Amino acid sequence: MRNSVFETVLGAVVVAAAGLFLVFALSSTGSSGSGDSYQIYARFNNAVGIEPGSDVRMAGVKVGRVLSMEFDAETAEAGLKMTMRNDIELPEDSDAKIVSDGLLGGAFVAVEMGGSLDTLATDGSAEIQYTRGNVDIITLFANAVGGLSDSGED
């Protein structure tokens, strides 16, 4: 009987811990696209590492997330639909770049404010015009190594 009570209590503790992890995971996903945020669009030549749910950050602080991605066949670019917090008004000359979050391949969209006095619309029709895609570190390294081996030949 004593074993049965111990196993029941241990099971209850495990279920409670799992519930806490679930609540933490749901609360850390951030902006859900509800009334506390607006949508914005941007096109990138290279969106490696980005996926729906990736962070949108300003000064290292999460201010939104990527809602969806699509390939634009006309421009051969990746189009990202993102959310931004309502309290952030972006000048129309703001820029966005994709930044690697580490060596394991994760990435986020970093938005930097411009200096214009005119701001982007917050009705979901705005597009960030100035973007920079992700730099592929492996290709960059391969080019550097290839350039070093070619420079010694004459």
* Residue 26 or 7, more confident: 7
The predicted pLDDT at position 128 comes to 92
Q: Which residues contact 120 (CB under 8 A, 6 or more apart)?
A: 40, 89, 90, 91, 92, 94, 126, 127, 128
* pLDDT tens digit sequence for 88-111: 999 999 999 998 887 666 789 999
The predicted pLDDT at position 31 comes to 41
Cα distance between residue 10 and residue 13, in whole Å: 5
Cα distance between residue 77 and residue 37, in whole Å: 25
The predicted pLDDT at position 105 comes to 65
The predicted pLDDT at position 33 comes to 44
pLDDT bin (cut points 50, 70, 90) of residue 80 is very high
* pLDDT tens digit sequence for 10-30: 788 888 888 777 766 666 554
The predicted pLDDT at position 136 comes to 66
